[in-house]
């Protein structure tokens, strides 16, 4: 056989996914090290870091075991723990640890500063030494406890032969504390316990704020999965028994009553009803179903009892697929790195080099080891990245507070930065552009007597349109008539009799079936079509126009029928696409991303969850489903759509202040570092200067208190 004719058939490579929690990732450099390091390990196909959840998903050969993967991550310099359940998130424990450390450091710094003020005021001799010892008694245990988050991270990095932002922080704090203790023991005039502890307080505050906001990023997936019922009644061997959702298996026969949600995907074997499938389709009107139709976990059975044979359960359901899409989209978004993290790649080695060169230079100049160490400590402290670290979170916290006062709850501080960059806005229709509350618009066509009959029928039904109809009639002061033989026909509506006449409130059929939001009232042989409208949110038209002025091109992407979108599209002057599934919305966002656009997604339904997670930034109204609220970066309260434009404007102001803060922080370093290297700055002055730079940054951020006006 000729070599050119030979073909080698290789078996398909079998791979699996493993997920590990990696809590010590703190910057973009950590992400790059983990992903590049694991990619070079034999048997590992790929590694993807989810920074928001502090975890890495590894695709690897089946031959690699979890202990081997854990060892590979440890070899890169990071402690890791396997996660059996990908929805587990241990970020709360880290946040509590940081908060405790912050409380200790803050309390200690206030007390040490009181002692330092006395020394600065002229205390000398034995009084000064006493105050130094009291400061030492407070500072030493505080540094040992509150500095642990930085010390552990720095030690892990150094043990792996790398560096990170926590290394100069740890060195500076330990040197300042050690030199202060030496000065205290030898009766020196100066000690810098206040600078060391205050430094920890500022840094812990920034890290806790970042962690607290980042910890919400994963909550949307768990909330989405909670939409599915916890279990179902299963019929086996003629007996009816409750079975938890995790124990359901394909082939089981579920019985689902009206008003209950489905615990698994399945096929209807008996019964007729209508189901609320808005989390999949966005359709505002329940969909009629009967024998042979498919139903999905999380959907609400509206009208009548159904018997369903389970076809898919647990991780194989459609709602679980949507959760996976949200998770994957969230990982893509987690690659957005703050400017401070990008600067940290070169910041730490630069600080070390400057301190080392300062020490060596002064030793060569004959200053002695004591004086050289003081200068090196001053360099480490004065160049510590406190102002840089606060540049972003200080502005974000102030802006988030201003937005909160306007009814806009921002959950992820970095969302403001991304919101300022958005140039496209995609809106869902029902519940987003509109209020999601159908209201009858032609009740005037009914007489008072017929309104009473309609109210009696509507009150007995759990259908969303019946609930809206009953509410509207009750607000008019209508009293329900006496209707006999009331019964709900699954998939049809309510029927009864009044004064010998058959009456009904049913789904439109025949020539009137085209009607969108509508129901049909029957009195004897006469029929009246009652139509409903889902009103636009107040300020919707002006808010969309305001977004256009700011350079955001708005688009409607809805799961509703195209005919239901027509009037809304005309009123808001937007292009609209209907019958969009979650996958279609996700694909639209990916297409816009590929074209270089940055998408603001505004939605409210479960079907919007993946799109909210995939957008460059996302907002949801407070009326949205729990999963959508948690998947979104911000939630706005009230019925008005104006908060969307307000948030964009505030975000752009915030980004401008962030840039100013970075200019101030960098300018401070350019001025202060040469002075410290020249030996003109003591460690105490360095610590005060560092704190002063932080105060300047915070003061500049406070200008954002009116950002939402």
> What's the distance, Cα to Cα, between the start and end of the chain in Å?
80
**Residue whose C-alpha is closest to residue 253's, from 541, 341, 385, 266:** 266
In the 8-state DSSP scheme, what is residue 10?
P
In the 8-state DSSP scheme, what is residue 432?
I
- Whole-angstrom distance, CA of residue 688 vs CA of residue 696: 12
Q: The tokens of 261 are what? A: 């949600």
The residues pairing with 489 across neighbouring beta strands, listed in sequence order, are 493
- Whole-angstrom distance, CA of residue 104 vs CA of residue 82: 31
Given the residues 428, 604, 608, 633, the one annotated as active site = 428
**Residue whose C-alpha is closest to residue 78's, from 149, 17, 160:** 160
Element (H, E) at 16: strand 15-21
Whether residue 485 lies in the annotated active site: no
The residues pairing with 496 across neighbouring beta strands, listed in sequence order, are 503
| Contact (CB, 8 A) for 473 and 455 | yes
Tokens 């759509």, located at residue: 641
Element (H, E) at 651: helix 642-677
Q: What are phi and psi of 49, to 5 degrees?
A: -90, 135
Burial class (CB in 10 A: 0-12, 13-18, 19+), 207: buried
- Whole-angstrom distance, CA of residue 84 vs CA of residue 424: 38
- Whole-angstrom distance, CA of residue 394 vs CA of residue 392: 6
**Residue whose C-alpha is closest to residue 504's, from 485, 480, 520:** 520
Three-class SS of residue 538?
coil
Known catalytic residues are: 428
């Amino acid at each position: 056989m000729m070599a050119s004719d030979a073909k080698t058939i290789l078996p398909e490579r079998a791979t699996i996914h493993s997920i590990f929690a990696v809590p010590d990732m703190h910057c973009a450099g950590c992400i790059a090290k983990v992903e590049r390091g694991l990619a070079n390990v034999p048997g590992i196909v790929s590694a993807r870091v989810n920074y928001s959840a502090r975890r890495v998903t590894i695709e690897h050969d089946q031959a690699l075991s979890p202990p081997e993967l854990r060892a590979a991550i440890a070899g890169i310099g990071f402690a890791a723990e396997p996660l059996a359940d990908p929805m587990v998130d241990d970020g709360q424990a880290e946040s509590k640890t940081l908060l405790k450390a912050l409380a200790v450091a803050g309390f200690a710094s206030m007390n040490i500063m009181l002692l330092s003020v006395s020394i600065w005021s002229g205390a000398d001799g034995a009084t000064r030494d006493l105050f130094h010892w009291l400061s030492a008694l407070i500072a030493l245990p505080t540094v040992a406890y509150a500095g642990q988050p930085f010390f552990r991270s720095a030690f892990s990095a150094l043990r792996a032969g790398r560096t990170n932002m926590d290394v100069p922080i740890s060195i500076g704090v330990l040197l300042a504390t050690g030199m202060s203790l030496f000065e205290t023991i030898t009766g020196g005039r100066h000690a810098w316990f206040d600078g060391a502890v205050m430094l920890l307080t500022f840094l812990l505050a920034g890290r806790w704020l970042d962690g607290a906001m980042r910890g919400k990023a994963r909550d949307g997936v768990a909330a989405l999965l909670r939409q599915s019922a916890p279990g179902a009644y299963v019929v086996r061997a003629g007996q009816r028994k409750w079975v938890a959702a995790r124990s359901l298996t394909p082939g089981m026969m579920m019985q689902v009553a009206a008003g209950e949600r489905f615990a698994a995907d399945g096929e209807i074997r008996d019964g007729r009803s209508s189901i609320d499938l808005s989390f999949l389709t966005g359709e505002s009107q329940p969909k009629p179903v009967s024998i042979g139709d498919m139903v999905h976990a999380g959907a609400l059975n509206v009208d009548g009892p159904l018997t369903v044979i389970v076809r898919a359960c647990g991780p194989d359901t459609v709602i679980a697929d949507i959760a996976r899409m949200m998770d994957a989209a969230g990982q893509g978004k987690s690659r957005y790195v703050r400017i401070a993290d990008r600067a940290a790649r070169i910041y730490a080695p630069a600080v070390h080099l400057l301190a080392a060169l300062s020490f060596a230079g002064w030793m060569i100049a004959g200053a002695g080891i004591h004086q050289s160490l003081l200068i090196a400590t001053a360099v480490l402290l004065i160049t510590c990245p406190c102002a840089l670290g606060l540049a972003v979170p200080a502005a974000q916290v102030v802006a988030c507070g201003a937005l909160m006062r306007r009814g806009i709850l921002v959950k992820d501080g970095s969302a403001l930065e991304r919101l300022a960059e958005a140039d496209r806005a995609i809106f869902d229709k029902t519940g987003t552009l509109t209020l999601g509350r159908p209201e009858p618009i032609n009740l005037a066509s009914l007489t008072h007597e017929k309104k009473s009959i309609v109210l009696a029928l509507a009150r007995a039904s759990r259908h969303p349109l019946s609930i809206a109809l009953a509410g509207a009639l009750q607000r008019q002061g209508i009293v329900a008539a006496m209707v006999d033989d009331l019964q709900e026909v699954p998939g049809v509506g309510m029927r009864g009799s009044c004064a010998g006449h058959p009456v009904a409130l049913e789904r439109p059929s025949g020539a009137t079936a085209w009607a969108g939001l509508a129901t049909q009232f029957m009195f004897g042989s006469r029929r009246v079509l009652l139509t409903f409208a889902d009103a636009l949110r107040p300020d919707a038209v002006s808010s969309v126009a305001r977004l256009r002025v700011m350079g955001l091109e708005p688009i409607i992407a809805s799961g509703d029928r195209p005919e239901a979108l027509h009037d809304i599209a005309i009123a808001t002057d937007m292009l609209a696409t209907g019958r969009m599934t979650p996958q279609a919305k996700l694909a639209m966002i990916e297409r816009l991303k590929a074209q270089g656009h940055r998408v603001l997604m505004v939605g409210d339904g479960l079907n919007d969850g993946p799109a909210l997670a995939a957008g460059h930034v996302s907002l949801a109204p407070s009326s949205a489903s729990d999963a959508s609220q948690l998947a979104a970066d911000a939630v706005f309260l009230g019925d008005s759509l104006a908060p969307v434009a307000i948030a964009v404007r505030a975000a752009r102001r915030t980004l401008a202040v962030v840039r100013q803060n970075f200019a101030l922080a960098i300018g401070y370093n350019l001025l202060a570092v040469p002075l410290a290297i020249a030996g003109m700055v003591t460690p105490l002055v360095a610590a005060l200067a560092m704190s002063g730079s932080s105060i300047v940054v915070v003061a500049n951020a406070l200008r954002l208190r009116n950002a939402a006006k």
